């Protein structure tokens, strides 16, 4: 019975740490870049887009499709970086507990 109570206590501590980490992820920001820096997307590690910056040289009607592609590429770059930041925090939190792959935090 003591082992069970100990496990429950550890689970409660882990849950508390995960909630704290979720809050911290909202403060971690990454930036995705495309087009050699012509387009950038800044987002949190919780995947919330904070800003999209577009170089004025791309503001031509004939460049519309290129701009759309660059924004999508920059967003995907930022998302990959945010996911990496989240995984890094998760590994630090779990300390190698061996949680199943794909265990999401959100």
What pLDDT shows up at residue 86? Answer: 83
What pLDDT shows up at residue 106? Answer: 46
What is the distance between the alpha carbons of residues 54 and 38, in angstroms, rounded to a whole number? 6
Q: Is 40 exposed, middle or buried (0-12, 13-18, 19+ CB in 10 A)?
A: buried
Q: In what side-by-side order are the strands of the sheet with 49-54?
A: 29-34, 39-44, 49-54
Q: pLDDT tens-digit profile of 40-93?
A: 988 888 788 888 889 988 888 888 888 888 888 988 898 888 888 888 887 877
Architecture in CATH for domain 11-94: 2-Layer Sandwich (3.30)
What pLDDT shows up at residue 33? Answer: 92
Q: Pick 23 or 103 by higher pLDDT.
A: 23
Residues 6 or more apart whose CB falls under 8 angstroms from that of 40 comprise 31, 32, 33, 34, 51, 52, 53, 74
Is 0.75 surpassed by the pTM of this model? no
What share of the chain has pLDDT > 90, as a percent? 8
Helix (H) or strand (E) holding 75: helix 64-94
- Bridge partner residues of 29 (DSSP): 44
Structure tokens at 61: 């009607």
- Listed by start position, the domains of the chain span 11-94
């Amino acid at each position: 019975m003591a082992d069970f109570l100990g496990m429950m206590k550890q689970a409660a501590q882990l849950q508390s740490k995960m909630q704290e980490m979720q809050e911290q992820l909202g403060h971690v920001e990454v930036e995705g870049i495309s087009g050699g820096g012509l387009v950038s997307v800044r987002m949190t590690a919780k995947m919330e887009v904070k800003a999209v910056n577009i170089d004025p040289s791309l503001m031509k009607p004939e460049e519309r499709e290129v701009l759309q592609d660059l924004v999508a590429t920059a967003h995907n770059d930022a998302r990959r970086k945010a996911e990496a930041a989240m995984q890094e925090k998760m590994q630090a939190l779990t300390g190698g507990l061996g949680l199943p792959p794909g265990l999401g935090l959100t």
